[in-house]
């Protein structure tokens, strides 16, 4: 389990950025999303709930339209990272 600190927020932001979902941004673009996801994971959100949060945030906050398959891949990556 990861704690909510600058290092982990930066690490998760970098992981999300490396998925290539937002070419014009940088890893700092995902700081708020990373913070939210870490808090949700700490609260014990299920994989499906994390997937819905991720999909919603990417659509509403970032204006991105990401396929369900890509959302599942990103969610799996995030959960594996969190559980290390």
Flag whether pLDDT at 34 surpasses 90. yes
At residue 25, the pLDDT reads: 81
Per-residue pLDDT of 6-20, as tens digits, reads 999 999 999 999 999
Can you state the angle between helices 6-17 and 31-42, rounded to 10 degrees?
Answer: 110
At residue 26, the pLDDT reads: 81
Kindly report the pTM of this predicted structure. Answer: 0.92
Per-residue pLDDT of 47-61, as tens digits, reads 999 999 999 999 999
DSSP string covering 27-57: GGGGHHHHHHHHHHHHTT--HHHHHHHHHHH
Closest Cα partner for 57 from 79, 74, 44, 77?
74
Q: Where is pLDDT greater, at 69 or 28?
A: 69
Flag whether pLDDT at 44 surpasses 90. yes
């Amino acid at each position: 389990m990861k704690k909510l600190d600058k290092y982990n927020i930066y690490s998760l932001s970098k992981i999300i950025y490396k998925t290539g979902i937002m070419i014009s941004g940088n890893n700092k673009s995902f700081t708020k999303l990373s913070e939210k996801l870490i808090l949700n994971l700490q609260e014990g959100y299920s994989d499906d709930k994390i997937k819905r949060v991720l999909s919603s945030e990417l659509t509403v906050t970032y204006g991105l339209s990401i396929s369900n398959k890509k959302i599942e891949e990103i969610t799996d990556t995030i959960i594996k990272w969190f559980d290390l």
